Structures are given as structure tokens and as C-alpha cells.
Structure 1
Amino acid sequence: MKNQRGFTIAELIIVIIIAGVLAAIAAPNMSEFVKNNSRANRVNTMVSALNYARGQAVTRNTRVSLCKSAAFANCDAAGTGDFGTGWIVFIDGNTRGIVDGVAPNNDTVLRIFQPDMGNNATLTGVKNVVSITMAGLSYENTGLGLDLNAAAGDTVVSPNTVFRYCDDRGAAEARGIVITPTGYPRLTRDTNGDGTDDIGGTNLVCP
């Protein structure tokens, strides 16, 4: 019969030390992986919402707007443009930039988006309301949609708008969503090779 023996105290200590070293090496990489995955999920959620809004505007042949909303019943008042609490996509038939029941085009919430924000992450927009029509895209801080075709009295405010995602790693890991005048969202890139995403050479900045 063979003798059986366990680990000695010295061997156990060596195993614990090795395990600790490996954990110390793996922990930062795992943390980066989790943050990168969270960033991708949240940015992709906004891109999906914008694509959905554009598709609904084309399908329904009406204005469809996306706005920040904490209660998911109406648009939040103009302010910081922080979409971290969530947002809604709604039919904005009367082009008021809010969800209301004003005839003849009673507004309807089409979809609710509620991201799970963490890592001190923020998702902010330079505008509080984004409105999409058959003609393209329009924006206005107070929520009053402006038509891209510049109908009587309307003015095109900007050729594009931006959503910016930041977490506790700062601007070097920030990502932006640029919406073209035709309503298509695209992700920002590091075009000047300095390690930070930019828009036309201007780097994204985090709070």
C-alpha cells in the first residue's frame, strides 16, 4: 500500500504566493475587458436606437424623435444632455419635440431604452432631442424640431450632432457617435493617431 502525503506548509505558501501573483497580473486585464465590453454595449444601444428611429421615420413617413427621459413617459427638460438615465423614441407628428396628445398627430412612445450605466460612466448628447424625418435629421436644444429641408421659417442648426460616452478612464477611452445629416449614426475614430478619438481633428473631451 502506497503512502499518501499532503502538501507541506512550505508548499502551500509557495502555491498561495504564485496564485496571488497570477491574480495580480490578471486583475487589471479583466477590469479592462469588463469596461471595454460595457462601453461597447452602451454605445451600440444608442446606435441601435438611432437606427430604429430613422427606420420608423421612413416607414411611417413622419417625424420620429429621440430624447432623454428618466420617467420614460415624456422628454426631460433641457439641461445637461445626460442620457445616462435612459431615453425614448417616439412619434413626433406635431414636431413639438415632446410627447403630447395634441391633435391631429397624437404622439406615441415607440420604444424605451434604459442602459445599465456603471464605472462612473456617462452618455451625453450635445442636444437633448434628436428628430429624424424622411428628409434627414434635425436638432434643437429646447426640443422644437427643425426640418433639414429648411421649410418656411425653419433653420438648419447643425450638419451633425454627437453623443459622447465616457467612463472613469477618461478621454483616452472615450467614444463618440456622430449622426450625419441623413440620419445615419457612425462611430468616431482616432484620425490623427494621438490615441484619442476625435471629430475633424478635435479630440473628445470627458468631464
Structure 2
Amino acid sequence: MKKPMRMKCCRRKYNSSGFTLIEVIVVMIVVGILATIAIPSYIALNRSSRVTSAVNELVSTCNYARSEAVTRSEPVTICKSNALNTACVTNGTGWQQGWIVFVDLNADGAITAGNDTILRVQAAIGGVTMDGGGTVDDFLTYARTGFLDLNDDDVADRTIEVTSDSNQMDIVFAKTGRVRTERN
């Protein structure tokens, strides 16, 4: 008796690969839940980081200006700059517009052409508001001793508030020239 002949050429073995629809839906749900939890935290972290970065920029600039005032034995001023970073401004714009550090020989808080030397320029800082709140409106001048020249006998500290939505840090300037930060 003859065995029936099987056709091996036509028989195919199918191997399935990939994910089932249920597996894909479960993964999408898990990713959605994680994104819902993580995105608000990331946004808050980003805002806090912007505030910290702006504070660090101004604090390092103040330390530099104080060091230069002592080294040069001349007054050094930090003033709010205009949009082009070419001159000091005295209007209502905040410190986030940028600032200029310069040797201020006549200690008037303004750049005098041919007389004062510009040492450093900081461009605008986005995403934050930096307000002197009436205590540090337009400029800070470090005397040749490293102390702040506040042009009055008041010994109260001066403060610049740096905010981004609900995140706030204060930069506090003592008359001695020391700068510290406080988180609110």
C-alpha cells in the first residue's frame, strides 16, 4: 500500500510576531497615566530652575562687581540695561531686561561716555520677573571698600524678588556688600 503523498511545498508555518491589540492599549493607558503625573511636576521643576538660574546669574555678577571694586579701588556699579544692553535705564522695567557692570568713577549710577569702563554685560533673562520692590530700583554701586554705596544712612537690607508664577526667591543685599538668597 502506498502512503498518500503530502505536499510539503504548499504547507506554510506562520510565526506571529508583534503585540496584540490588548497589549498595545494597556501600554498606552500606562503611558497616559505616567504622563498625567509627570508633566505637572516637570513644569514646576522647569519654573523653579529658571528662578534659581536667574538668581545665580545676578549673585555671581554682584560678587564679581564687589571683587572688581576692591581690586581696582574704584566704585563699580551694576545697573539695569536697556533692550540693546548699551545704556542704563531708570524706568519701570525689571532687572530681567539685563544689566551692565561698569567702573563708575563719578558713582552716579549711569554710564558716562569716555569716563566709565564697561566690565560685563548680561543679556535679558526670559521666563522670570526680577523686581527691586522700591529698595533696588535702578542700580547698585559697590564702593572701593566692597561695601554697597546706598547713598543714605539706612542700614536696612535691600531686596530683589525673582519670580516665575508661584516660585519666588529673594536676593538680599546687606550694606556690607554681602549677598544672600532666600527661598519663599
The interval holding the TM-score normalised by the smaller chain is 0.7 to 0.9
Paired with 2:77 and 2:86, the residues of 1 have a C-alpha distance of: 13
- Which residue in the other structure is 2:158 paired with? 161
Letter in 1 for 2:116: D
Paired with 1:132 and 1:82, the residues of 2 have a C-alpha distance of: 20
Question: Structure 1-normalised TM-score?
Answer: 0.74
Q: Which runs of 5+ in 2 are unaligned?
A: 1-12
CA shift for structure 1 position 158 = 4.7
Deviations 1:154-182 (A, max 9, x none): x335532111101112xxx2110111111
User: Secondary structure of the equivalent of 1:62?
Assistant: coil
Paired with 1:81 and 1:161, the residues of 2 have a C-alpha distance of: 18
Q: Which runs of 5+ in 1 are unaligned?
A: 140-145, 147-154, 190-196, 198-207
Q: What is the correspondence of 1:170-181 to structure 2 with a 5 Å cutoff? A: 173-181=167-175
User: Secondary structure of the equivalent of 1:84?
Assistant: helix
- Which residue in the other structure is 1:123 paired with? 130
Is the Cα contact below 8 Å between 1:164 and 1:176 reproduced in 2?
yes
- Which residue in the other structure is 1:186 paired with? 180
* Identity over aligned pairs, percent: 33
Paired with 1:33 and 1:137, the residues of 2 have a C-alpha distance of: 33
Is the Cα contact below 8 Å between 1:138 and 1:156 reproduced in 2?
no
Letter in 1 for 2:182: T
Is the Cα contact below 8 Å between 2:157 and 2:172 reproduced in 1?
yes
Larger relative contact order (CA 8 Å, sep ≥ 6): 2
- Which residue in the other structure is 1:132 paired with? 142
Aligned residues: 167
Q: Where does structure 1 differ by over 4 angstroms across 4 or more consecutive aligned residues?
A: none
Letter in 1 for 2:159: V
